[in-house]
Amino acid sequence: MTETDEQYTVETTQLSLQILDIVAETGGTRLREIQSELDVAKSTAHKHLETLQANGLLTKRGETYHVGLKCLNLGEEARSRWPGSLYIDEAIGTLTERTEEECDFVAPDRGRIITIAESYHKWAKYDDSGRGGGSKDYRARTGSYYRMHATASGLAILATYPRDRVDAIIDRWGLPARTEYTITGREQLYDELATIQDRGYAIDNQGYTEGMRSVGKAVHGPGDQVIGALSVSGPTYRVDGMVLEEEIPNALVDVVSELEAKLAQPR
C-alpha cells in the first residue's frame, strides 16, 4: 500500500478486510484466532466478524467462520467485468485444443496474479502418483493467487514492468522459494526478465511445482495496457524438447495475437 492509499484508508473497514483475508487464507478461522492474529480486543473482533457474516461475506459453522457465498457473487462479477472476458474464454478454449494441456489466464492484482479463467483438456491426465510431478497442488483454480516470480504468467507480466515497479513488488511480496528451482534472488530475476523481453514469452521450469513446466505470455489490452497473461502448463515429460521450444510457444504467440486484435477493436 502506498502512502497515498494509506491517507484515504478507513481503519475500521481496513480491519474488516484484513479479517476477511485471514479467513480466506486459513480456510476457516475462529474468533480467538482472529483476536490473536490482529492483536485486537475480543469484542472488536467479534463485531467485525458478525458484521461480515450479516452481509454474507462470512458464514459460521459451529465456532468457525468461513468465506460466505456473497464473495462468490462478487468474484464472478469481477471476472465477467474484466476487459475482454468473453474473448479470454474463447482464447483459452483455442489454446487448450491446440496444445492439449492445461491453460489459464491470470490478471495482475496488487503485486500478485490471480487466475480468472482456466481450462483443463480432457486428454491431459494429471495424477498424484508423482510421475512428471503431476501434483494435485498444481491444478489451477479460478480465484487462486500466486506470487509473480514463481510462475510463467507472473514472470511474463513482470517483464513488461519498469525496474522500480518490479522492485516495489519484490519489497512487498519477497521472492520465497516454492521448489529448489524457484527464482529467489533479485539479480537472477532481473536476468530472467531480460531473457523474457528478448524471447517474447516466459518459461517456468519447475519453479512453482516440481515436475511441471509452464509457458506464459503477457496480454495487452486497449492503450497497450497489460491486462494479464495466458499460459500453458504440463508435466515435464510432455512439455519438453520441440513441444517446449516450438509447439507451445508458437500456439501461445498466435492465440495472444488474435486475442489482442479482438481487444483492440472499438466498441
> Could you tell me the pTM of the whole model?
0.82
Amino acid at residue number 264: A
57 pLDDT band, cuts 50/70/90, is: very high
State which of 74-88, 135-149, 163-177 shows the largest mean pLDDT.
163-177
Q: What is the pLDDT of residue 56?
A: 93
Q: Which of these, 181, 190, 217, 183, lies nearest to 202 by C-alpha position?
A: 217
* pLDDT per position as a tens digit, 186-210: 999 999 999 999 999 999 999 999 9
Q: Which residues make Cβ contacts (< 8 Å) with residue 26, sequence separation at least 6?
A: 33
Q: What is the pLDDT of residue 123?
A: 59
- 170-194 average pLDDT score: 97
DSSP assignment of 32-88 equals HHHHHHHT--HHHHHHHHHHHHHTTSEEEETTEEEE-HHHHHHHHHHHHTSTTHHHH
Q: What is the pLDDT of residue 121?
A: 63
Share of the chain above pLDDT 70, in %: 89
131 pLDDT band, cuts 50/70/90, is: very low
Q: What is the pLDDT of residue 247?
A: 96
Please check the confidence at residue 137 and state whether its pLDDT lies above 80.
Answer: no
* pLDDT per position as a tens digit, 216-243: 999 999 888 999 999 999 999 999 999 9
Question: Grid coordinates representing 230?
Answer: 495466458
120 pLDDT band, cuts 50/70/90, is: confident
The residues spanned by each domain of the chain are 3-73, 83-263
Please check the confidence at residue 150 and state whether its pLDDT lies above 70.
Answer: yes
CATH architecture of the domain with range 83-263: 2-Layer Sandwich (3.30)
Please check the confidence at residue 73 and state whether its pLDDT lies above 50.
Answer: yes
C-alpha span between 162 and 186 (Å, rounded): 14
CATH architecture of the domain with range 3-73: Orthogonal Bundle (1.10)
Mean pLDDT in the chain?
88
